[in-house]
């Protein structure tokens, strides 16, 4: 069976796919990334109402980050090269934000191209989008239409059309609020962006938005080739 590698993201201290600690900065039930893995992961720091919070993101081109639209905030800045032991950490405060008109997906343009930071390809084959038969690291990809899944998203509907949702679940594994905007990776390509999970850890499916349906929007707004 094919497998997904679910990019479970750590913000700021040592990039990891986590242990059971700080709810804002860790993921439950993961493993540590080494210094050469997932270097395209970006930390976004948000300020609102006198409080600081975090989101993840993926560097898809040297001047463009893909993340979740609900992470939008002013002021906001990006940190690239956030792996432990990396000396090429870059904090970028001058950014331009482009949110999708309806759905929970967002582009962030950096004021200057990054240097020495690898990018992640996204949806290389729009006709080969991962299906519910794939597995995601230690999380299974589950059918979002399954009526036996929790009612959380029925009571809190996300800003994502049903057909563009990618749901993930496994006992003892979960993401936390600071992981929103992080990527779902399959064979070193970005296919999803994390947007939501339940209010309590390990009580609800993790929801991500599929990237492939937004290829035209991404390429047009970022001025990239289709």
* Beta bridge partners of residue 169, listed in sequence order: 140
193 shares its domain with 148: yes
Q: Total structural domains in the chain?
A: 2
The answer to whether residue 192 is domain-embedded is yes
The answer to whether residue 147 is domain-embedded is yes
The answer to whether residue 128 is domain-embedded is no
pLDDT digits (tens, 9 = 90+) for 14-26: 333 332 222 233 4
The answer to whether residue 131 is domain-embedded is no
Cβ partners under 8 Å of residue 215, min gap 6: 122, 123, 126, 226
52 shares its domain with 91: yes
100 shares its domain with 156: no
Contact criterion met (CB below 8 Å) for 57 and 181: yes
Residue 201 pLDDT grade (very low, low, confident, very high; cuts 50, 70, 90): low
pLDDT digits (tens, 9 = 90+) for 80-99: 876 545 566 777 877 899 99
The answer to whether residue 30 is domain-embedded is no
Contact criterion met (CB below 8 Å) for 181 and 44: yes
Q: Please give the residue range of the domain that contains residue 51.
A: 41-119+216-222
47 shares its domain with 109: yes
Gap between the Cα atoms of 122 and 110, Å rounded = 18
Query: Domain of 59: which CATH number?
Result: 2.40.10.10
Give the predicted TM-score (pTM) of the model: 0.77
Residue 126 pLDDT grade (very low, low, confident, very high; cuts 50, 70, 90): low
Contact criterion met (CB below 8 Å) for 65 and 108: yes
In the chain, DSSP assigns E strands to: 3-6, 41-48, 51-61, 64-67, 76-80, 90-92, 95-99, 106-110, 135-136, 139-142, 165-169, 183-186, 189-196, 206-210
């Amino acid at each position: 069976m094919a497998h997904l590698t679910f990019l479970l993201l750590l913000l700021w201290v040592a990039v990891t796919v986590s242990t059971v600690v700080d709810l804002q900065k860790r993921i439950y039930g993961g493993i540590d990334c080494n210094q050469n893995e997932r270097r395209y992961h970006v930390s976004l720091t948000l300020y609102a109402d006198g409080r600081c919070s975090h989101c993840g993101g993926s560097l898809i081109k040297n001047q463009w980050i893909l993340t979740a639209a609900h992470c939008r905030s002013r002021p906001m800045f990006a940190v690239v090269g956030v792996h432990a032991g990396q000396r090429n950490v870059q904090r970028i405060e001058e950014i331009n934000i482009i949110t999708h008109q309806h759905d929970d997906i967002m582009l962030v343009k950096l004021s200057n191209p990054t240097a020495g930071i690898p990018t992640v390809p996204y949806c290389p084959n729009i006709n080969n989008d991962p299906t519910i038969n794939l597995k995601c690291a230690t999380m299974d990809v589950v059918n979002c239409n399954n009526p036996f899944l929790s009612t959380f998203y029925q009571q809190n509907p996300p800003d994502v059309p049903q057909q563009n949702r990618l749901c993930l679940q496994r006992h003892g594994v979960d993401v936390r609020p600071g992981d929103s905007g992080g990527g779902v990776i399959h064979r070193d390509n970005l296919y999803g962006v994390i947007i939501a999970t339940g209010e309590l850890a390990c009580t609800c499916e993790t929801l991500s938005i599929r990237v492939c349906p937004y290829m035209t929007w991404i390429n047009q707004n970022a001025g990239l080739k289709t």
